[in-house]
Structure 1
Amino acid sequence: MAAGLAALLDDIALIAKKAAATTDDVAAMAGRTSTKAAGVVIDDAAVTPKFVAGVSPARELPIIWRITKGSLVNKLVIILPIILLLSWLLPGALTPLLMLGGFYLSFEGAEKVLQKVGLVENEEAEGKDEAAGQSEDAMVRGAVFTDLILSAEIMVISLNEVAHEPLLTRALVLIVVGLLITFAVYGLVGVLIKIDDIGLALADKQGASEGTKKFGLFLVKGMPKLLTVIGIIGTLAMLWVGGHILLVGLDELGLHWPYHTVHHVVELVEHLGGAVTWLVETGFSLVCGLLIGAIIVAVIAGIKKLRAR
């Protein structure tokens, strides 16, 4: 009896160890996988604050919370089952699906760059005016729809990193990634949209020191610049990630020379150190994303003109 109990306890301990190891593996893979979706994550953080532009300060955080819940539904209820089913039944579809995301990221990044240099009409100001006149429900719906596209990219990129893992491991990693990225992005957005309110409160605080008031004014004045910097980083990251996805995807589909050319150049500078190697590889991916994205922008602009005629 005692021997049987001891054997049972040993089995339970072994199961617990395996479960702990699996948990550690999932956490480690989720951490590595999340970094691969950096471009989309940064862009998500840069895009979301515009949805609460013109909203009363008291409603900003409740709206962000509603968008956060919508984002979780997008990732875990809508996207996750679809891409897991695809990876199980049609694993060969993952590369084309990932490349579609690469084309979208390249298009979005290139469009922002071309708008900045004046080669493409900037429709963002019109969008802000329309958003200001929308109801809260309409703003949330618009933000959640935008998040659906970005979330699809995040989840597909993440799935690609664990495509060779067992189905259960893939599911667990993607659930962790979805939760981690959603709360990180919208938590950051919640902080960003409140920085100027915090600064204003410090600047107007009765009895506050001169240094505190100056710091408050610094926060108020610095907030637009911070959002601009985040937007620039997000655009560059989208082009880099999109370009890299397309280079690797084309190589896997049989068009080898673009990826091999970049790989050859990277090998030539490897002796200069990891930082230089990363910069060169990232730079080529970024340029690739910009060129392909610019072609897509031109094609879409041409279609719009034809339709207008």
Structure 2
Amino acid sequence: MSGLLALLDDVAAIAKVAAASVDDVIGQATKAGAKAAGAVIDDAAVTPKYVQGFSAERELPIVWRIAMGSIRNKLVILLPVALLLSAFAPWLIAPLLMLGGGYLCYEGAEKLIHSLRKGDPHALATGDPAHLEEAKVKGAIKTDFILSAEIMTIALATIETPGIWGQAAVLAVVAVAITAMVYGAVALIVKADDLGLWMARAGRTGLSRGLGRGIVAAMPGFLLVLTWVGTAAMLWVGGSIIVHGLEELGSGWLGHHIHDVALLAAALVPLQIAGATEWFATAALDGVLGLALGLALVVLITPVMGWVQGHE
């Protein structure tokens, strides 16, 4: 009997350790997710434009395909790469992130140019629906890869667990939780007009039917605004990655100047909104930097891409 009681004590002790480990993983994952909130918001703002122009019955399947691609990006590629780089080549993380930031700047600037010239290229889908869906899903997953790399890297930097398996567990929780949150929000956004239509037709009260009609009427403008927010987000995050990458590489003069200008802007407003003003000023300056770099990359890369396509 005493042996059985001792065994039960051991089992209870192991259970307590396991519970503490789970709590630690969840706590650190929550902290890491909060640190990566900026990139998470960008991801949620960028994605809905990839389903615009498709039939209503294809919207959720497209979102699901992109979400599964995002999970593969995070768990299959980025998680092991992040752990390996952190363990064996931490000096490579900043340059690789800067390459990703440059890509976001390029794509954001290209989207802006297309929008100003001939309207948003994502607003309407023409041609073979299956081919267009495949192209949009691939484009969305490619963009998600850069944003996911930023999220996972920020998360990795906040993890306090020393062991590689603990770090892997926290990163896995962050990857799954953030993907579910982002693409759950995207699914709600893209189906909001269908919900509004249903409310307008089947609502039991005049208020609910009026609210449904209001949702239907507001969604086109909301999606247009969201498209512009997504483009601005690419430029903001891309510029921010470049600035922080330069600081990691020992060249912090640009980041210092941006910080000084943001502090100056905060000093010009009431104290109650000084913090928000500093944040917005920093984000705006990062975005301007991202736009300038993106336009430069468009000028440099577009002729090369045209030459390559002409010789295929």
TM-score (norm 1): 0.81
Instruction: Go from structure 1 to structure 2 and tell me whether the alpha carbon gap of 1:12 and 1:177 turns closer, same or farther (over 3 Å shift).
Output: closer
- Which residue pairs with 2:149 in the alignment? 156
- Distance of 2:62 and 2:150 partners within structure 1: 27
- Distance of 1:24 and 1:183 partners within structure 2: 15
- Distance of 2:12 and 2:195 partners within structure 1: 56
Query: Which whole-Å deviations, capped at 9, do the CAs of 1:262-294 have from their partners, x for residues lacking one?
Result: 123234455552122212212211111111111
Give how far 1:125 is off.
Answer: 6.0
Give how far 1:249 is off.
Answer: 0.9
Query: What 5-or-longer segments of structure 1 have no aligned partner?
Result: none
SS in 2 for 1:129: coil
Give how far 1:122 is off.
Answer: 5.7
- Distance of 1:214 and 1:269 partners within structure 2: 42
- Distance of 2:152 and 2:209 partners within structure 1: 48
- Distance of 1:125 and 1:150 partners within structure 2: 14
SS in 2 for 1:128: coil
- Which residue pairs with 1:108 in the alignment? 107
User: Which of the numbers 182, 186, 189 marks the counterpart of 1:192?
Assistant: 189
Contact 2:40–2:151 (CA under 8 A) maintained in structure 1: no
Query: Which whole-Å deviations, capped at 9, do the CAs of 1:167-197 have from their partners, x for residues lacking one?
Result: 3343223222221222223222322232222
Contact 1:244–1:285 (CA under 8 A) maintained in structure 2: yes
User: Which of the numbers 230, 238, 254 marks the counterpart of 2:226?
Assistant: 230
- Distance of 1:213 and 1:164 partners within structure 2: 47
Query: What 5-or-longer segments of structure 2 have no aligned partner?
Result: none
- Distance of 2:119 and 2:207 partners within structure 1: 40
Give how far 1:239 is off.
Answer: 1.6
TM-score (norm 2): 0.80
Give how far 1:69 is off.
Answer: 2.8
- Which residue pairs with 1:29 in the alignment? 31
Query: Which whole-Å deviations, capped at 9, do the CAs of 1:141-178 have from their partners, x for residues lacking one?
Result: 43442243233223321232223743334322322222
- Which residue pairs with 1:302 in the alignment? 303
- Which residue pairs with 1:49 in the alignment? 51
- Which residue pairs with 2:72 in the alignment? 73
- Which residue pairs with 1:278 in the alignment? 279
Give how far 1:21 is off.
Answer: 4.2
Instruction: Go from structure 1 to structure 2 and tell me whether the alpha carbon gap of 1:230 and 1:170 turns closer, same or farther (over 3 Å shift).
Output: farther
Please state if 1:170 is matched with 2:167: yes
SS in 2 for 1:117: helix
Contact 1:236–1:286 (CA under 8 A) maintained in structure 2: yes
Matches within 5 A, 1:130-149: 130=127, 133-135=128-130, 138=131, 141-149=134-142
SS in 2 for 1:239: helix
Q: Match for 1:178: what amino acid? A: A
Please state if 1:89 is matched with 2:84: no
- Distance of 1:268 and 1:90 partners within structure 2: 38
Give how far 1:204 is off.
Answer: 3.4
- Which residue pairs with 1:258 in the alignment? 254
Instruction: Go from structure 1 to structure 2 and tell me whether the alpha carbon gap of 1:156 and 1:197 turns closer, same or farther (over 3 Å shift).
Output: closer
Over the aligned positions, Cα root-mean-square deviation in angstroms equals 3.2
Instruction: Go from structure 1 to structure 2 and tell me whether the alpha carbon gap of 1:76 and 1:264 turns closer, same or farther (over 3 Å shift).
Output: same
- Distance of 1:47 and 1:199 partners within structure 2: 19
Instruction: Go from structure 1 to structure 2 and tell me whether the alpha carbon gap of 1:106 and 1:195 turns closer, same or farther (over 3 Å shift).
Output: same
Contact 1:243–1:288 (CA under 8 A) maintained in structure 2: yes
Matched residue count: 299
Q: Match for 2:129: what amino acid? A: Q
Give how far 1:11 is off.
Answer: 4.0
Contact 1:44–1:185 (CA under 8 A) maintained in structure 2: no
Please state if 1:181 is matched with 2:178: yes
- Distance of 2:115 and 2:51 partners within structure 1: 19
- Distance of 2:140 and 2:188 partners within structure 1: 18
| Stretch of structure 1 that moved more, 150-159 or 163-172 | 163-172
